[in-house]
């Protein structure tokens, strides 16, 4: 008898249990969507990412040039805006997607996923470990996916409550403003050092690449460019500071809306026992959420507004997710899986709701 496969999910009632044969069919249909795109990847995708690279480069140059005239308020605003745009695009549409290997097939060193280094204080090597491997392999699995609360926030009732979480509605604000720093130290696992599961010598060795990257970023944004600006040093310094802050807030918002909305689930480690490809696909769908918006909005998010598609197909060029989304949604509807998709305003409101609610010891 073809009975439903029982897995210890923290269940969302909007999803139904699937039998093993249904899971196999789910995998087959989602694989077919992927293969259709893989067969079509080529010059159009290469031209697109090259245009993104060029747009980032010239926006950054023009933005920094405007900041050199930053004592004139309109020039400072324009320069900061352009630099913010460049940093957001480099972080989201270029860096994140390139590091997933989405453009490795081009054999262009500028777009090589294993060697690309992005414009934040965190190293790309650490990101490839914490994000590409841990997060995408063990999406929303407690104790394995470090992105669940980033070690600072309680966002699900399944996380053990501690009195310190009472302050998370307050300290989540600086965490948002300084998000690149959270990314920088995430793979250092400072908690293990505090609880003596890691030695100081181990930590110091792991800290060296991050320390070097922090120094490089600080020198570039807060010393070199202000120095060569001469009399405009202060507006250049503040412009860089604000641009980094805007990029941090935007990145935090998009990432949190992708995994911490109301209908998203977390899972126990037991889901990994004999997990089939169909199970894995289902976990990605139930652990992710999308954002609606215009084409420009999707580009600014690095197409992480299609977080569901990204988790199903992280190696596919992200610009393809918009056209894949209706097909993925149709498959979800066919198998009774909730396709979590809403506006940024609604999803971010749900994220804030989780931050406030689970600061207290609620168990559901």
Q: What is the predicted pLDDT for the residue at 231?
A: 96
Closest by CA to 240, choosing from 363, 359, 132, 84, is: 84
pLDDT on residue 223: 97
> What is the per-residue pLDDT for 5?
47
β-partners of residue 204 are none
Give the pair of three-digit tokens for residue 224.
Answer: 């070199």
Per-residue pLDDT tens digits for 127-183: 999 999 999 999 999 989 999 999 899 999 999 999 999 999 999 999 999 999 999
Q: What sign does the dihedral 195-196-201-205 (CA atoms) show? A: negative
Q: 302, 269, 311, 305: which is closest to 290 by C-alpha?
A: 305
Evaluate whether residue 106 is within a structural domain: yes
* pLDDT of the residue at 30: 98
239 with 229: CB under 8 angstroms? no
Q: Is residue 45 part of a domain?
A: yes
- Residue 223, phi then psi, degrees to nearest 5: -130, -60
Domain that holds residue 284: 20-357
Residue by residue, pLDDT tens for the chain (364 residues) are 455 544 344 567 788 989 999 999 999 999 999 999 999 999 999 999 999 999 999 999 999 999 999 999 999 999 999 999 999 999 999 999 999 999 999 999 999 999 999 999 999 999 999 999 999 999 999 989 999 999 899 999 999 999 999 999 999 999 999 999 999 988 888 877 777 788 888 888 989 999 999 999 999 999 999 999 999 999 999 999 999 999 999 999 999 999 999 999 999 999 999 899 999 999 999 999 999 999 999 999 999 999 999 999 999 999 999 999 999 999 999 999 999 999 999 999 999 999 999 999 998 8
Q: Give CA–CA dist 326/23, Å, rounded.
A: 20
254 domain-assigned: yes
Residue 11 domain-assigned (yes or no): no
Q: Look up residue 263 and give its two tokens.
A: 């209908």
DSSP state of 93: I
Q: Does 362 fall in a domain?
A: no
Q: Is 147 helix (H, G, I), strand (E, B) or coil?
A: coil
Question: In this structure, is residue 202 part of a structural domain?
Answer: yes
CA–CA separation, 154 and 151 (whole Å)? 8
Q: Which pLDDT tens digit goes with each residue over 47-71?
A: 999 999 999 999 999 999 999 999 9
Instruction: Tokens for 19, please give them.
Output: 């039998």
- Please state the domain count of the chain: 1
Provide the pLDDT for residue 364: 82
Please check whether residue 198 is in contact with residue 268, taking contact to mean a CB–CB distance below 8 angstroms: no
pLDDT (0 to 100) of residue 194: 78
Whether the Cβ atoms of residue 348 and residue 297 lie closer than 8 Å to each other: no
**DSSP code per residue over 28-62:** HHHHHHHHHHHTT-SHHHHHHHHHHHHHHHHHHHH
Give the model's pLDDT for residue 187. Answer: 81
Residue 162 region, left (φ>0) first, then alpha (ψ -120 to 50), else beta? Answer: beta
What is the pLDDT, as a whole number, of residue 4? Answer: 53
In a domain, 9, yes or no: no
What does the angle CA 97 – CA 32 – CA 20 come to, to the nearest 5 degrees?
A: 105
Structure tokens at 274: 């004999």
Give the Cα separation of 172 and 352 in Å (integer): 10
Give the ranges where the chain is alpha helix by DSSP (H): 20-38, 43-67, 73-89, 97-99, 124-127, 136-137, 168-177, 179-186, 190-194, 200-219, 225-229, 233-259, 277-286, 295-300, 307-312, 321-334, 344-357
Q: Do the Cβ atoms of 304 and 254 come closer than 8 Å?
A: yes
Q: Is residue 13 part of a domain?
A: no
The CA distance from 273 to 64, in Å, is: 52
CA distance to 117, 181, 189, 236, 241, per residue, from 217 (Å): 12, 12, 22, 15, 11
């Amino acid at each position: 008898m073809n009975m439903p496969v029982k897995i210890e999910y923290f269940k969302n009632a909007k999803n139904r249990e699937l039998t093993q044969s249904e899971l196999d069919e789910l995998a087959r249909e989602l694989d077919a969507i992927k293969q259709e795109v893989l067969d079509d990847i080529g010059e159009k995708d290469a031209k697109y990412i090259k245009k993104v690279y060029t747009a980032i480069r010239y926006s950054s140059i023009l933005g920094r040039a405007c900041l050199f005239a930053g004592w004139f308020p309109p020039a400072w605003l324009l320069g900061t805006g352009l630099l913010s745009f460049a940093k957001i695009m480099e972080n989201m549409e270029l860096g994140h997607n390139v590091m997933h290997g989405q453009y490795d097939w081009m054999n262009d060193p500028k777009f090589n996923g294993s060697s690309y280094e992005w414009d934040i204080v965190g190293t790309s090597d650490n990101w490839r470990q914490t994000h590409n491997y841990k997060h995408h392999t063990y999406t929303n699995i407690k104790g394995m996916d470090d992105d669940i609360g980033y070690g600072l926030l309680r966002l699900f009732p399944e996380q053990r409550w501690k009195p310190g979480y009472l302050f998370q509605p307050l300290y989540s604000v600086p965490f948002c403003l300084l998000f690149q720093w959270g990314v920088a130290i995430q793979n250092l696992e400072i908690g293990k050092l505090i609880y003596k599961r890691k030695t100081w010598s181990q930590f110091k060795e792991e800290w060296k690449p991050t320390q070097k990257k922090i120094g490089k970023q600080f020198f570039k944004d807060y010393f070199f460019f202000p120095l060569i600006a001469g009399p405009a040093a202060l507006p250049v310094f503040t412009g860089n500071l604000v641009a980094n802050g805007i990029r941090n807030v935007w990145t935090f918002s998009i990432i949190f809306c992708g995994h911490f909305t109301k209908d998203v689930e977390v899972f126990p480690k037991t889901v990994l026992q004999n997990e089939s490809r169909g199970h894995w696909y289902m976990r990605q769908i139930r652990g992710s959420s999308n954002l609606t918006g215009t084409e420009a909005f999707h580009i600014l998010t690095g197409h992480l507004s299609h977080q569901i598609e990204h988790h199903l197909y992280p190696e596919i060029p992200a610009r393809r997710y918009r056209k894949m989304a209706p097909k993925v949604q149709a498959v979800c509807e066919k198998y009774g899986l909730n396709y979590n998709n809403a506006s940024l305003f609604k999803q971010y409101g749900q994220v804030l709701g989780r931050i406030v609610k689970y600061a207290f010891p609620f168990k559901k």
